[in-house]
């Protein structure tokens, strides 16, 4: 069904991580996460140092994590698991707060480079604008790991195949449309064209859904990247098209807003002819899917494994290991998926 197959297990190809742009889960079992680092000196442990060298040593073994959209709930979950992993490994984890502003992201990451923070995991709003900074960091001997894609200058990357995730969600929804609606009905999309990662998600969803369910009429597309914008956008779409059957969102936050809008319009939470789908695998989305209602699926990343990788990959490189492209595949999770409770258990 999927024209773009993904690897069954995450791999770190040899030879480092330099490469052109590519690009947000079952991904990385905990055993594999543990195997990330060779049995070398723990790069996150500061050990016993004199007071005059302690601050410098801590900076060199610290890891910075920059996630520009820190207002989204998924950021808090990622930060929680990354901090837990850092604590396990004796790391100092630094977190940025960019509030979606590229200028803030540049300022925060530049500060880490100037201070000499040993490793940094950066989710660039636009990778091309960060190339000079990445080159500067690596010239200073610092570790630069790209989150959610790749750059020309990098020590390694944590990738989530956003196109693949979107494609899987669109394929799943198309199959449901044929099974339940006979392939006929109305569909709408909540999209976000502001950054590369979400643009790829949007393209994956629309490519697969329109190809595999050509009898479905796409009646609306609107921007949404949060529960609030998802609610407002879906209100507008349902006002114009009250008989929308399928709504696919670029993330779970938008899908949760759409879910609230459908309920507010008087649509039953168990209406058999409505399908809402999201992407990310957040706790609230998974819990809502478990109710077996109209929020039917998410193209899910296992957040705990990503949080651990945020620490493990730069730590491995700081220890003298190779970088590389760590691919964390995405998996569609529904109410009947055997992995639903496994994914939810990460939040308990």
Query: 55 or 340: which carries more pLDDT confidence?
Result: 340
Mean pLDDT, residues 10-29 taken together: 34
Lowest pLDDT segment from 94-103, 127-136, 183-192: 94-103
Please, what is the average pLDDT of the chain?
84
To the nearest 10°, report the CA torsion of 154, 155, 157, 158: -140
Query: Looking at residue 58, what is its pLDDT?
Result: 73
Among candidate residues 181, 188, 193, the one with its CA nearest the CA of residue 239: 188
Among candidate residues 109, 155, 114, 143, the one with its CA nearest the CA of residue 129: 109
Contact 158, 313 (CB under 8 A): yes
Order of all β-strands in the sheet with 246-249: 216-223, 185-191, 246-249, 275-280, 295-300, 331-334
Structure tokens belonging to residue 53: 């060298």
Query: Looking at residue 92, what is its pLDDT?
Result: 93
Strands 331-334, 295-300: parallel, antiparallel or unpaired by DSSP? antiparallel
Contact 24, 161 (CB under 8 A): yes
The most confident of the ranges 5-9, 149-153, 287-291 is: 287-291
Candidates 3.40.50.880, 3.40.50.2300, 3.90.480.20, 2.70.70.10; correct CATH number of 30-160+302-330? 3.40.50.2300
Lowest pLDDT segment from 56-60, 178-182, 342-346: 56-60
Question: Please, what CATH class does the domain formed by 162-300 belong to?
Answer: alpha beta
Mean pLDDT, residues 117-139 taken together: 92
Q: Do domains 30-160+302-330 and 162-300 have the same CATH topology?
A: yes
Cβ count near 187 (within 10 Å): 26
- pLDDT band for 53, please (50, 70, 90 cuts): low
- Rounded percentage of the chain residues whose pLDDT exceeds 90: 65
Query: Looking at residue 71, what is its pLDDT?
Result: 76
For residues 214 and 276, give the distance between their C-alpha atoms in angstroms, rounded to a whole number.
18
Structure tokens belonging to residue 283: 């706790």
- pLDDT digits 0-9 by tens, 153-206: 999 999 888 999 999 999 999 999 999 999 999 999 999 998 888 999 999 999
For residues 219 and 164, give the distance between their C-alpha atoms in angstroms, rounded to a whole number.
24
Structure tokens belonging to residue 264: 């507010």
Maximum separation of any 2 CA atoms in the chain, in Å = 72
Query: Looking at residue 98, what is its pLDDT?
Result: 85
Using only the alpha carbons of the chain, give its radius of gyration: 21
As to burial, measured by CB atoms within 10 angstroms (0-12 exposed, 13-18 middle, 19+ buried), residue 117 is: buried
- pLDDT band for 52, please (50, 70, 90 cuts): very low
- pLDDT digits 0-9 by tens, 241-277: 999 999 999 999 999 999 999 999 999 999 999 999 9
Among candidate residues 314, 318, 331, 279, the one with its CA nearest the CA of residue 12: 314
Instruction: Inform me whether the pLDDT recorded for 150 exceeds 60.
Output: yes
Mean pLDDT, residues 273-290 taken together: 96
Query: Looking at residue 55, what is its pLDDT?
Result: 60
Contact 174, 213 (CB under 8 A): yes
Backbone phi and psi for residue 332, each to the nearest 5 degrees, phi listed first: -75, 125
Strand partners, 224: none
Lowest pLDDT segment from 50-64, 99-113, 280-294: 50-64
Query: Looking at residue 12, what is its pLDDT?
Result: 35
Q: What is the pTM of this model?
A: 0.75
Instruction: Inform me whether the pLDDT recorded for 17 exceeds 50.
Output: no
Query: 23 or 258: which carries more pLDDT confidence?
Result: 258
Strands 63-66, 216-223: parallel, antiparallel or unpaired by DSSP? unpaired
Instruction: Inform me whether the pLDDT recorded for 9 exceeds 80.
Output: no
Lowest pLDDT segment from 134-143, 148-157, 234-243, 273-282: 148-157
E strands, the chain, where? 63-66, 93-95, 119-122, 143-147, 156-159, 185-191, 216-223, 246-249, 275-280, 295-300, 324-327, 331-334
Mean pLDDT, residues 132-138 taken together: 96
- Tell me the domain boundaries of the chain: 30-160+302-330, 162-300
- pLDDT digits 0-9 by tens, 291-342: 999 999 999 988 888 999 999 999 999 988 877 888 888 999 999 999 999 9
For residues 141 and 184, give the distance between their C-alpha atoms in angstroms, rounded to a whole number.
57
For residues 276 and 69, give the distance between their C-alpha atoms in angstroms, rounded to a whole number.
23
For residues 221 and 201, give the distance between their C-alpha atoms in angstroms, rounded to a whole number.
14
């Amino acid at each position: 069904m999927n024209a773009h197959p993904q690897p069954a297990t995450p791999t770190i190809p040899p030879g480092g991580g330099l490469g052109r742009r590519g690009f947000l889960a079952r991904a990385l079992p905990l055993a594999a996460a543990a195997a990330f680092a060779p049995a070398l000196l723990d790069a996150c442990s500061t050990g016993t140092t004199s007071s005059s060298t302690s601050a410098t040593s801590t900076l060199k073994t610290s890891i910075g994590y920059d996630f520009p959209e820190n207002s989204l709930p998924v950021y808090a979950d990622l930060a929680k698991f990354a901090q837990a992993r850092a604590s396990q490994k004796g790391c100092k984890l630094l977190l940025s707060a960019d509030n979606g502003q590229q200028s803030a992201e540049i300022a925060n990451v530049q500060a880490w480079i100037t201070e000499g923070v040993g490793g940094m995991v950066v989710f660039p709003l636009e990778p091309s604008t960060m190339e000079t900074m990445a080159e500067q960091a690596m010239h200073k001997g610092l570790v630069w790991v790209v989150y959610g894609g790749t750059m020309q200058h990098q020590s390694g990357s944590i990738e989530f195949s956003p196109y693949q995730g979107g494609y899987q969600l669109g394929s799943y929804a198309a199959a449901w449309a044929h099974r339940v609606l006979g392939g006929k009905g109305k569909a709408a999309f909540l999209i976000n064209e502001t950054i590369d990662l979400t643009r790829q998600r949007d393209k994956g969803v629309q490519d697969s859904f329109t190809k595999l369910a050509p009898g479905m009429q796409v009646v609306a597309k609107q921007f949404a990247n949060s529960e609030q914008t998802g609610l407002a956008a879906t209100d507008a779409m349902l006002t114009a098209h009250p008989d929308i059957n399928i709504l696919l969102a670029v993330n779970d936050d938008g899908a949760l807003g759409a879910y609230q809008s459908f309920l507010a319009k008087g649509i039953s939470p168990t209406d058999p002819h409505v399908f809402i789908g999201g992407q990310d695998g957040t706790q609230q989305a998974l819990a809502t899917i478990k109710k077996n209602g109209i929020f039917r699926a998410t193209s899910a990343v296992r957040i705990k494994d990503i949080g651990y990788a945020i620490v493990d990959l730069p730590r491995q490189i700081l220890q003298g290991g190779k970088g590389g492209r760590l691919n964390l595949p995405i998996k569609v999770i529904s109410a009947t998926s055997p992995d639903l409770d496994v994914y939810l258990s990460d939040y308990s």
